[in-house]
Amino acid sequence: MLIPYSILFRSIISPLAICIGTFTAFNFLPVVTRQSVPITCFSGSFRCLKEVTKVELLTTKGKIIVTLFHDSAPLTTGSFIDLVKHGAYNGTPFLRVIRELKPFVVHVGEIESTTTTEVSGYHNVSKSIVKQPRILPMEITLEDKKEPLYGKSVINIENMSRIKSLHNRGTLAMSHSQDSNSVGSPFYIVLRPLPELDGRYTVFGQVIEGMDILDKIEEDDHLIQARVL
């Protein structure tokens, strides 16, 4: 039985892709005993993004400006903006920069865990206060659909050609574990086109200024401040 090349290629690359999720998993989650339910546009403590929004990422190497894909990832971008406004990303390190054997991704946004009580419902991180456990489903929009798909990988070959936001050089995407409903705060920025990751992670933004800065980022550089422009 012949295996389509695209499926074979994705199966070969999957161990490398999975490292994005397993490395970033759940550090943003409060320490509570009950299982958190993924947030939706109707249940979250923030609003889904509905307009074009830019964010400045000030790093130890310089400034990077990104624009967010509110149309294809309204829930994810709304959560991202909420985290930015609370200062949750300020001071976080670039913990993983994968350039070998080929440029892959720059990973950031791993927020340090602190003790949180179930009574208060607050999680104090990086001098910010964010309400409620932050768990999102993966969010992917197809070209001819008005609403995103939530919590589902797109693996059908026909649907893959209709994915609206792809892993191009300079795109931002959210990490998650092997559970597609485990998106938190960590994200990565793509250093080269990575079609093998399309349909498996939420792509939610694009670098529009500062790709030269991104190319200089090394492990243990820091995201000094993220702010909405």
Q: How far apart are CA 42 and CA 40, in angstroms?
A: 5
Cα dist. 94→4, 108, 120 in Å? 36, 5, 30
| Tens-place pLDDT, residues 177-226 | 887 778 888 999 999 999 999 999 999 999 999 999 999 999 989 999 99
Q: Is 5 helix (H, G, I), strand (E, B) or coil?
A: helix
Place of tokens 């039985």: 1
Looking at the structure of the chain, the number of domains it has is 1
Q: What pLDDT score does 5 carry? A: 41
Confidence band of 43 (pLDDT split at 50, 70, 90):
low
Q: Which residue has the tokens 């994915």?
A: 163
Range ranked top by mean pLDDT from 24-28, 142-146, 198-202: 198-202
Assess whether the previous peptide bond of 149 is cis (omega < 30° from 0).
Answer: no
Residue 86 belongs to domain with CATH number: 2.40.100.10
Give the residue numbers spanning the domain of 154.
Answer: 5-228
pLDDT given at position 66: 99
CA atoms within 13 A on the CB side of 203: 25
Task: Determine the Cα–Cα distance for residues 114 and 99; give it in Å rounded to an integer.
Answer: 31
The dihedral sign for the CA sequence 46, 182, 129, 190: negative
Nearest-5° Cα angle at 194, 189 to 197: 90
Give the model's pLDDT for residue 125.
Answer: 42
DSSP 175-221: ---SSTT-B-S-EEEESS--GGGTTTSEEEEEEEE-HHHHTT--TT-
Identify the pLDDT of residue 39: 67
